[in-house]
Chain A
Amino acid sequence: GESVGLHLPTLSVQEGDNSIINCAYSNSASDYFIWYKQESGKGPQFIIDIRSNMDKRQGQRVTVLLNKTVKHLSLQIAATQPGDSAVYFCAENVDGTSYGKLTFGQGTILTVHP
């Protein structure tokens, strides 16, 4: 079946560096994408989303890039801080179907060293 996957399962960076987390998706019909952050023992926390009619969206210290040609999604975190250490998941949805059901990628563990 269709699925969302990640290129890198782990990522270690130094505090202050920029982080880039990647995600590949396979469902060409997906038109809504979300990044979630999950800290240990907690539920996922919404970070940022993007629709397929956009290729870039910025938030506070985070930017999501979408390349529909190669079905690739990335999350950029500027000036990474120790508090950013967590597992990051991308998720996709085909708008208007399945009551908003999301398909999650496998996750990337981000570790930020002080």
Chain B
Amino acid sequence: GAVVSQHPSRVICKSGTSVKIECRSLDFQATTMFWYRQFPKKSLMLMATSNEGSKATYEQGVEKDKFLINHASLTLSTLTVTSAHPEDSSFYICSARRLAGGRDTQYFGPGTRLTVL
């Protein structure tokens, strides 16, 4: 099956610093990747759609200047949480869209646990 990785898996940072999270599709090319946020015992909340070579599309209520997304290649998208605060602590998950064999499927990364002190 298709593999998507995230790095780091866990990060702890001080309030006011910026954190970058990488999402890579390891064995397929993804022109579209998605970034989600998940709180404990809650569902996934889509933050933004990341498109290779163009600007990301943010969901309503998500600050684009705070959550910077860069999709520099067909296998890599990055999410940078700028000036992080404790309320940004969450589980961030990316997915990569794969179009193959007439199927349109999202494959998810393992997630990144962000803790802001």
Is there contact, CB below 8 Å, between A46 and B32?
no
Is there contact, CB below 8 Å, between B44 and A104?
yes
Q: Which residues of chain A are near B110, meaning CB under 8 Å?
A: 42-43
C-alpha gap A105/B44 in the complex (Å): 8
Is there contact, CB below 8 Å, between B49 and A98?
yes
> Nearest chain B CB to A34's CB is how many angstroms away?
7
Contact among B4, B107, B111 for A41, CB-based, below 8 A: B111
Is there contact, CB below 8 Å, between B43 and A34?
no
Is there contact, CB below 8 Å, between A95 and B104?
yes
Is there contact, CB below 8 Å, between A43 and B108?
yes
**Interface SS majority for chain B:** strand
Contact among A43, A49, A101 for B103, CB-based, below 8 A: A49
Is there contact, CB below 8 Å, between A34 and B108?
no
Q: Which residues of chain A are near B46, meaning CB under 8 Å?
A: 101-104
Counting CB contacts under 8 A, is A100 at the interface? Answer: yes
Q: Which residues of chain A are near B106, meaning CB under 8 Å?
A: 34, 46, 100, 102
C-alpha gap A65/B109 in the complex (Å): 27
> Nearest chain A CB to B33's CB is how many angstroms away?
10
Residue of A nearest to B104 (CB): A100
Is there contact, CB below 8 Å, between A99 and B108?
no
Is there contact, CB below 8 Å, between A99 and B44?
no
Q: Which residues of chain B are near A101, meaning CB under 8 Å?
A: 34, 46, 49
Q: Which residues of chain A are near B49, meaning CB under 8 Å?
A: 98-99, 101
Residue of B nearest to A36 (CB): B108
Is there contact, CB below 8 Å, between B108 and A100?
no
C-alpha gap A42/B112 in the complex (Å): 9
Is there contact, CB below 8 Å, between A42 and B44?
no
Is there contact, CB below 8 Å, between B51 and A99?
yes
Is there contact, CB below 8 Å, between B105 and A46?
yes
Is there contact, CB below 8 Å, between B43 and A42?
no
C-alpha gap A100/B42 in the complex (Å): 22
**A31-62 with Cβ < 8 A to chain B:** 32, 34, 36, 41-46, 49
Question: What are 8 sample pairs from A and B whose C-beta atoms fall under 8 A apart?
Answer: A41-B113, A43-B108, A45-B108, A46-B107, A49-B105, A100-B104, A104-B44, A107-B43
